[in-house]
Amino acid sequence: MTLEVSSAVQDYAKAIYSLEQRCDGGAVSTNALAERLGVSAASASSMVKKLDGLGIVEHVPYRGVVLTGRGMNVALEVLRHHRLLERFLAEELGVPWDRVHDEAEVLEHVLSEELEELIAAKLGHPTIDPHGDPIPTADLKIVEPATVAMDGLEVGDSGRFVRVSDSDPEMLRYLGARGIAPGEPFEIVDKQPFGGPIFARFGDAGEAHPLGGRLAAAMRVEVGA
């Protein structure tokens, strides 16, 4: 749709997009980018200079980068590939949801526009991936829903579990083994102090599941209702 950029550039654009979402407000630091991508800060720095030259980012030396419109399109195109592929692998091929991410991470760079469209059509143009992440539309619009982390909730709060990071397979297996998946309504029934676990009851199931600190922090929810 938009571009002719290498896999590396695509991954940088995607990482910058993701980091811009998190710490909203400002530019993405070279260090954060390097850590995210598992490369040295020096490598990220030199790549950032190239991305600026390509018109993917605006770079202010020592101050970080911001995606340009073009860069945003690159990121959203790859994100669409990634999330459609995750959904396709899970739904059509039965790949477990803790493994779809790594497969999609490489396939995303190699998916033609034609295949993208065929896959989207076959799946009925889905709007979220297996982890609850929104899939950008074919014309690269995306709605990032406002959510809060589950670990901030209190006893009595309820809502819907909508989304969880796709990059920690162990967490996903843990949740999967207990039948907890995005979309489930829940209610907080107990909470231990000092960063202890939070206890949530999902769906109409009887038992409450203890969710430890890191896990509850990774789970994003819609509150209310």
Partner DNA sequence: GAATAAATTTAGCCTAGCCTAAAATCGTTT
Partner DNA sequence: AAACGATTTTAGGCTAGGCTAAATTTATTC
What residues between 9 and 28 interact with Mn ion by CB under 5 A? 11
Question: Does 133 interact with Mn ion (rule: CB under 5 A)?
Answer: yes
Distance (Å, whole) CA 67 – CA 100: 27
Instruction: From the list its own copies, Mn ion, DNA, none, pick the one residue 32 interacts with, judged by a Cβ distance below 5 to 8 Å according to partner type.
Output: DNA
What x-and-dash track marks residues 7-36 binding DNA by CB under 7 A? xxx-x-----------------xxxx----
167 belongs to the binding site for DNA (CB under 7 A):
no
State which residue, 39 or 123, has the beta carbon closest to DNA: 39
Residue with tokens 């990220």: 44
Interacting residue with DNA among 14, 59, 80, 209 (CB under 7 A):
59
Verify binding: residue 43, DNA, rule CB under 7 A: yes
122 near its own copies, judged by CB under 8 A = yes
Is residue 35 a contact residue for its own copies (CB under 8 A)? no
Told to check if 215 binds its own copies by CB under 8 A, we report no
Q: How far is the CB of 143 from its own copies (least distance, A)?
A: 27
Site residues (CB under 8 A) for its own copies, limited to 98-117: 99, 103, 106-107, 110, 112, 114-115
The three-state DSSP-derived secondary structure of the chain is CCCCCCHHHHHHHHHHHHHHHHCCCCCECHHHHHHHHCCCHHHHHHHHHHHHHHCCEEEECCCEEEECHHHHHHHHHHHHHHHHHHHHHHHHHCCCCCCHHHHHHHHCCCCCHHHHHHHHHHCCCCCECCCCCECCCCCCCCCCCCCEEHHHCCCCCEEEEEEECCCCHHHHHHHHHCCCCCCCEEEEEEECCCCCCEEEEECCCCCEEEECHHHHHHEEEEECC
Dist. CA 23–CA 146, nearest whole Å: 14
User: Using CB under 7 A, which of 1, 2, 46, 96 touches DNA?
Assistant: 46
For residue 123, the minimal CB distance to its own copies (Å) is: 11
Site for its own copies in 42-81 (CB under 8 A): none
Rule CB under 7 A: which residues touch DNA?
6-9, 11, 29-32, 38-50, 59, 61-62, 64
